[in-house]
Amino acid sequence: MTSRPRSNSGDKERAEYSIGDLAREFDVTPRAIRFYEDQGLLAPRREGQRRIYTQRERTRLKLTLRGKRLGLSLSEIRELIDMYEPGRDERPQLERFLSALQSHRAALEQQRTDIEAQLSEITVFEKRVRKQLARE
């Protein structure tokens, strides 16, 4: 990954990233990053047509992708990310995250139960069809 430290009139130096830098680092397309921007998850600075992503945006992208891997919706991810502010009590964010995880776990466990029931039914019908084929 390439980053370009830049100095902004008196600001301390900080890492900045292009959309291509983040796309390569996180193995996503620039289009996906622009989509997350459209959804309010990222807010890069603009220099003309060029998007400039800071460490904050990089972290938000990382959390977005982690949330997606966990099966959270983009609105849930945005809510959780927006709750976070350095130096503020993290308890509400952590409680909301735990609630989202528990809800998603319950949905996945129900899906697993449904899949297991369907597989059992398929097994029963396979046996019936095989017996019928063996008789013919």
User: How much is the mean pLDDT over the chain?
Assistant: 87
Is pTM beyond 0.85? Reply is no
pLDDT in tens, 105-128: 999 999 999 999 999 999 999 999
pLDDT in tens, 45-68: 999 999 999 999 999 999 999 999
Residue spans of the domains in the chain: they are: 1-83, 90-136
CATH 1.10.1660.10 given to domain 1-83: yes
Task: pLDDT band for 13, please (50, 70, 90 cuts).
Answer: very low
Q: Would you say residue 4 has pLDDT above 70? A: no
User: Which residue intervals of the chain are DSSP H helices?
Assistant: 19-26, 30-38, 55-69, 74-83, 91-135
Task: Output the DSSP codes for 21-36.
Answer: HHHHHHT--HHHHHHH
> What does the pLDDT read at residue 14?
54
Q: How far apart are CA 3 and CA 21, in angstroms?
A: 7
